Amino acid sequence: MSLRFGTDGVRGLAGSELTAEFALALGRAAARALGGAPAGGAPAGGGGTCRAKLLVGRDTRLSGPLLQAAFSAGVASEGVDVVDLGVLPTPGVAAIAAEAALPAAIVSASHNPFADNGIKLLAAGGRKLTVAEEEEVERILEAMVGPGPASSPGVSRDRLGRLTEDPHARERYCNRVVEALQGRRLDGLRVVVDCANGAASTTAPAILSAAGAEVLEVLSASPDGLNINAGCGSTDPSAVARAVVAHGADAGLALDGDADRVIAVDSTGAEVDGDRLLALFAADLRGRGFLAGDTVVVTVMSNLGFHKAMTRAGIAVHQTPVGDRHVLEALDSHGWSLGGEQSGHLIFRDLAATGDGTLTGLLLLDLMARTGRPLFELAAGAMVRLPQVLRNVVVDGRDGLTEAEGVRAAVRAVEEELGGEGRVLLRSSGTEPVVRVMVEAPTEEAAAGAADRLVAAVTAALEARGSSRRPSPPAAH
């Protein structure tokens, strides 16, 4: 089996790595491992029967309908009904799954380009799978597609699952997000939204308008299967920044392809990333008595400036490995209410089972309305960001590379130079064949120089293993 669960489901190049055959086998494995049996709650399409069901939604990629059909066929071949939610943001699928107490799947590769696709699985109630649950799916899948005797065939005749649709899922999701404002309105706020030609192309503008915001322009909301995340959305907020300035808008919101993350833009066109958003929300929630445990959960990628700002605000920071699953696990284990990632993937655990870019944007506008302060002022006071440089080194094999002695020596040298005024992080990506190098330092020049030295050390370790792969261009500054 070539594909395995990463930090966010199974992901690969559609048609060659993530094939229809693989999707069908994964559907069968998911049906067996997750059961699809409702644990109570409202029915989600197909009437109020007691048959086992599993929900499926997707984003707007060209390969989405093919992979969804194959996955659904696999589920139905195991006697589990499939309810098609259509094109719906990942948090929308999770919300409907929570409402119906059903497991679900999302065919999406999030912020990746259109050629990639993935399948994320959610357990009953819309929660992320545990490691043990993922391993059980992989064990069943391995028996189906790996070497050795094949597993037993699926059910037959009248026991086959039925495929139905839920035409009202999108409306219910939109209403659920608007209800997070508890009756408050956004009247008077002017906003631009970039939907990344993805799953939020219809939902995000509708939600913002229903809450009272004036949506001046909707960018990248004409998906054609090929243009998802292409020079738009949270991975490239330049267009929404220009539009905000041109219209004199109060804010801009740039979502990604499956709308589980958002990057905001203030009225000057400056970006407000996930760290600043988390700092804003943490302080606001604590001030209103709604920040459980006076704690916020972040990953190791969060800027050192964020940690310093939280210390000054009297807010504890709990740090996890990269991946929203780890953030969710920490929130649920301790009963905390807020966490997220620098990428703009924020989780308001009292309101949702996963990150929701549109919900985050809505709550940000609500914060602006309640305080009467512009976003650039709020963001400037939230934290002072240390210059951060990211580099990706493309690799063939990742195991143990960051532990090579030459790499460890380079890391120690840089950390000694930075002292307590900077930070170094090397990690193997959970979704791509790359080693990520991150350096934070008091100046951009110091961070870039240190990152270059660490990239050279990783490259040397690769060459020592006989690899001729070269580092890719910088990922971000």
> Which residue numbers are catalytic?
110
Local structure of residue 473 (DSSP, 8 states): P
* Measured distance CA(458)–CA(469) in Å, rounded: 11
Q: Return the closest-CA partner of residue 107 out of 261, 225, 188.
A: 225
Bridge partner residues of 217 (DSSP): 192
Q: Are 231 and 242 in contact (CB under 8 A)?
A: no
Measured CA to CA, the distance from residue 391 to residue 380 in angstroms comes to 26
The DSSP 8-state label assigned to residue 253 in this structure reads E
Residue 357 sits at the vertex; the CA angle it makes with 264 and 228, to the nearest 5 degrees, is 90
Closest Cα partner for 290 from 282, 302, 280? 282
Name the residue type at position 320: T
Q: Which residue has the tokens 């993350």?
A: 261
**277 in Cβ contact with 346 (< 8 Å):** yes
SS3 string, 436-466, reads: EEEEECCCHHHHHHHHHHHHHHHHHHHHHCC
Residue 122: how many other CB atoms lie within 10 Å:
26
DSSP string, 121-159: EEETTTEEPPHHHHHHHHHHHHHHHSSSSPPPP---GGG
DSSP code at position 18:
B
